[in-house]
């Protein structure tokens, strides 16, 4: 590998790690926000947010994360290499 390319690879690996951390944090915060909305609506008796809304948020997060993980695994299983 060329010498000028090494700092770019290092920067991209760091950016990938940061990207994963930021998106994971957003996913957790959205689940906490949905749970807080559900709790507040239960306390106020309005039922604007229900358990199905909370479960739906969790299922969307799980589906997106699972699809990305499955796609990455299948790509590497069929001979692709994930270098970054």
Give the pLDDT of the chain (84 residues) as one tens digit per residue.
568 888 888 888 888 888 889 999 999 999 999 999 999 999 999 989 999 999 999 999 999 999 988 988 888 888 776 665
Alpha carbons 25 and 3: distance in angstroms, whole number? 34
* Residue found by looking up tokens 């990305």 in the block: 68
CA dihedral 45, 49, 50, 54 (to 10 degrees): -140
Cβ atoms < 10 Å from Cβ of 58: 15
């Amino acid at each position: 590998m060329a010498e000028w390319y090494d700092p770019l690879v290092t920067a991209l690996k760091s950016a990938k790690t940061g990207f994963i951390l930021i998106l994971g944090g957003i996913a957790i915060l959205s689940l906490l926000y949905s749970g807080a909305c559900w709790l507040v609506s239960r306390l106020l008796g309005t039922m604007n947010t229900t358990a199905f809304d909370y479960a739906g948020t969790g299922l969307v997060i799980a589906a997106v994360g699972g699809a990305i993980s499955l796609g990455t695994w299948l790509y590497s299983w069929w001979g692709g290499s994930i270098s970054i």
